[in-house]
C-alpha cells in the first residue's frame, strides 16, 4: 500500500512539523531532531506537576495531540511503533519539570517501560522528583501474560491532568493516576490490520473474519471470529468487558476509532453501545473519535472506566475542546413527527394480474442482477446502482398488494411516490419524475405507452440528459418508442439491448457521475442504468 510520505526516515518529523503549524501559542517542540522528538506546552511555567506520556508514533492523536492545558505537559515521540530513546524521554523531563515534580504515564510495553524507567532514574539522579504510573488496560490476553496499555491510557491522561491543573501534589496526582489505571479496561476488534509506511503489508485477517484483542501495533490478538454485523461485534466486545464490571457501579465509556473506520461505521457502533444491555451502567460516552489509533487499522476499541465521584469530576474538568472529545449521555433524542404533507398516500388497492405479473418480473430482474450491476457501476462510478435498484424492487414487491393496479394514472402515481421514498440518488428522483409526469398524462387522456414516453421527455427536461449522453435514456428511449409504434415488447427489448450496447462505445458522458470519469475507464463498459433497462425488458419477455 502506498502512503503520502516523503521517506521512512523523515515520516515522524515531517508529521510533527505539520501538526505544530499555527499552534505556537499553546504547544511547540524541543530542538532535537531527528533523535529527540518532544512536543511540549509553550505556555508552561513549571509551577505545577508536569505530566509526560508518549511512545511510538502511529497512534495519533495520541500522544502529542493531548498536550495542552488540563492534560499532558509533554509528549515523547518515537519512530513508528518504536519506543522513544532514553535521551528523548530525559530531554522531555528536563524541559518541563519544576519544583512540583513530574509524573510519567507509560503504556505497558517492554520498550516503553525500560526507556521511560531509565530516563526517570537519570532524572532523579539529577535531583528531580519523578514518578511513574504504568497503564495495562487491555483485557484481551490471558491473565498470565502482562496486559498491554492501549486506548484506556487516555482516560488516565485526562483525570491525572485535571488533578495536576488544580495544583495537587505529585503524590496526590500519582496516587490518583494509579487508582484510575486500576479502574480502566479496554478491548479492541478489527477487520484488518494496519499498513506500516515503507513496509510491504501482509494482511492476516481473512475476509469475513475479525480479530479480537489485537494490539495497537498490529500484534495478533486473542482469537479470530466470524464477522457479520455491528450488533454482533459490539456484543462480543461488551460481553468480555462485562466480566470486569461490578453491579450497581457507573462507568464512563471511550469509543476509539483505531484509524480506518469511517464515521458512518463508528456512528453505528456508538448506536449499538446505546442499545446494549450494559447501557444503563454507562454514565458518559467519549467518542466515537480518533484517540489512540493504529495507523489505518480498520477497527475500534472500547474502554470503560469505573467511576467514583472524584474520577467523574476529573473527567468533566474543562480542557480545550480541540484536544478532548465532549462527554455525551447515552440518550437518544426525541424523534419529531414527519409533516403530514409527506405522509404516505392511502391508495385504494385494486388488482390487475397482467400489471402485477409485469411489476413482479421487473422486481425479479433487479434483485437477481444486483451484484452484477454493482460490479458494473464500480468500474465507472460508486458501485451502488444495483443496490439502489434492488432496494426499489424490494419496496415495490412489498407494496404491490396496496397498489391501485387497475387504474394506470393512480398506479403511476403510486410508483412515483414509492420510488421517491425508497430509491436514493438522482436516478431514483428521475424515475419518480417520469412516473409522476406519466400519471398526469394518463389523467389527460393519453394511453399508458404515450404517457411513459412523455414522462421520459420530462426526465430529459429536468435532468438535462439527452440520447447519446450515456445514461439510461439511451436504452429506455428506444424501447418506449418501439412500444408506441407497434406495442411489441420483444422488439422493445431488442431496442433497449441495442441502446445499452451502444453506450459501450460512448467514451464521454455528459450527465451523471460518469461525466467525471476519464474516457479510458468508460471504453467498453456499458452504462449501468442503460444495462438495467435492457435487463428489465429482456426479463419481461423471457
Q: Which residues are catalytic?
A: 217
The one-character DSSP state at 401 is G
Q: 43: helix, coil or strand?
A: coil
Cα 108 to Cα 110: distance, rounded to the nearest angstrom:
7
Residues 6+ apart with CB under 8 A from 193: 201, 203, 204, 205, 211, 214, 218, 297
Residues 6+ apart with CB under 8 A from 203: 192, 193
Residues 6+ apart with CB under 8 A from 268: 230
Cis-peptide into 288, omega within 30 deg: yes
Q: What is the 3-state secondary structure (H, E, C) of 227-286?
A: CCCHHHHHHHHHHHHHCCCCCCCCEEEEEEECECCCHHHHHHHHHHHHHCCCHHHEEEEE
Cα 291 to its chain centre, rounded Å, is 14
Cell of 293: 489509533
Cell of 18: 505539520
The one-character DSSP state at 141 is S
The one-character DSSP state at 402 is G
Cα 340 to Cα 230: distance, rounded to the nearest angstrom:
34
Nearest CA to 59 out of 100, 12, 13 is that of: 12
Amino acid at each position: 500500500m502506498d502512503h503520502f510520505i516523503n521517506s521512512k526516515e523523515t515520516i515522524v518529523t515531517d508529521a510533527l512539523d505539520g501538526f505544530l503549524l499555527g499552534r505556537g501559542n499553546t504547544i511547540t517542540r524541543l530542538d532535537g531532531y531527528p533523535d529527540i522528538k518532544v512536543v511540549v506546552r509553550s505556555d508552561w511555567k513549571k509551577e505545577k506537576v508536569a505530566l509526560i506520556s508518549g511512545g511510538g508514533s502511529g497512534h495519533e492523536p495520541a500522544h502529542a495531540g493531548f498536550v495542552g492545558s488540563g492534560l499532558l505537559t509533554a509528549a515523547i515521540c518515537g519512530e513508528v511503533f518504536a519506543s522513544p530513546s532514553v535521551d528523548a524521554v530525559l530531554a522531555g523531563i528536563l524541559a518541563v519539570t519544576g519544583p512540583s515534580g513530574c509524573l510519567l504515564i507509560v503504556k505497558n510495553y517492554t520498550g516503553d517501560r525500560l526507556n521511560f524507567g531509565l530516563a526517570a532514574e537519570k532524572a532523579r539522579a539529577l535531583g528531580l522528583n519523578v514518578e511513574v504510573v504504568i497503564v495495562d488496560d487491555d483485557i484481551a490476553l490471558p491473565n498470565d501474560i502482562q496486559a498491554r496499555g492501549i486506548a484506556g491510557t487516555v482516560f488516565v491522561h485526562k483525570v491525572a491532568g485535571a488533578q495536576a491543573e488544580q495544583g495537587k501534589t505529585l503524590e496526590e496526582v500519582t496516587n490518583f493516576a494509579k487508582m484510575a489505571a486500576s479502574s480502566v479496561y479496554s478491548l479492541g476488534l478489527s477487520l484488518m490490520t494496519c499498513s506500516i509506511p515503507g513496509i510491504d503489508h501482509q494482511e492476516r485477517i481473512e475476509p469475513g473474519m475479525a480479530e479480537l484483542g489485537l494490539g495497537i501495533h498490529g500484534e495478533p490478538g486473542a482469537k479470530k471470529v466470524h464477522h457479520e454485523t455491528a450488533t454482533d461485534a459490539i456484543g462480543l466486545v461488551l460481553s468480555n468487558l462485562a466480566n470486569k464490571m461490578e453491579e450497581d457501579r457507573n462507568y464512563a465509556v471511550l469509543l476509539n476509532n483505531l484509524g480506518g473506520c469511517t464515521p458512518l461505521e463508528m456512528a453505528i457502533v456508538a448506536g449499538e453501545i446505546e442499545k446494549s444491555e450494559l447501557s444503563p451502567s454507562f454514565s458518559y460516552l467519549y467518542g466515537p473519535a480518533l484517540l489512540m489509533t493504529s495507523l489505518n487499522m480498520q477497527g475500534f476499541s472500547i474502554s470503560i472506566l469505573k467511576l467514583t465521584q472524584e474520577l467523574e469530576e476529573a473527567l468533566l474538568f474543562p480542557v480545550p475542546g480541540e484536544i478532548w472529545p465532549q462527554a455525551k449521555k447515552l440518550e437518544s433524542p426525541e424523534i419529531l413527527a414527519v409533516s403530514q404533507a409527506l405522509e404516505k398516500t392511502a391508495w385504494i388497492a385494486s388488482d390487475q394480474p397482467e400489471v402485477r405479473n409485469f411489476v413482479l418480473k421487473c422486481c425479479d430482474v433487479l434483485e437477481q442482477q444486483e451484484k452484477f450491476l454493482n460490479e458494473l457501476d464500480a468500474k465507472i462510478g460508486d458501485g451502488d446502482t444495483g443496490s439502489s435498484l434492488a432496494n426499489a424492487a424490494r419496496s415495490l414487491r412489498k407494496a404491490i398488494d396496496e397498489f391501485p393496479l387497475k387504474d394506470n394514472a393512480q398506479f403511476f402515481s403510486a410508483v412515483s411516490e414509492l420510488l421517491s421514498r425508497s430509491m436514493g440518488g438522482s436516478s431514483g428522483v428521475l424515475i419518480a419524475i417520469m412516473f409522476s409526469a406519466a400519471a398526469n398524462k394518463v389523467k389527460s387522456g393519453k394511453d399508458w405507452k404515450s404517457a411513459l414516453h412523455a414522462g421520459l421527455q420530462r426526465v430529459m427536461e429536468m435532468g438535462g440528459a439527452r440520447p447519446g449522453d450515456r445514461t439510461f435514456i439511451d436504452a429506455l428511449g428506444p424501447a418506449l418508442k418501439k412500444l408506441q409504434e407497434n406495442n411489441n415488447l420483444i422488439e422493445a427489448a431488442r431496442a433497449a439491448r441495442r441502446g445499452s450496447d451502444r453506450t459501450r462505445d460512448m467514451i464521454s458522458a455528459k450527465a451523471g457521475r460518469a461525466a467525471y470519469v476519464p474516457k479510458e475507464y468508460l471504453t467498453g463498459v456499458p452504462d449501468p442504468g442503460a444495462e438495467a433497462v435492457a435487463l428489465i425488458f429482456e426479463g419481461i419477455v423471457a
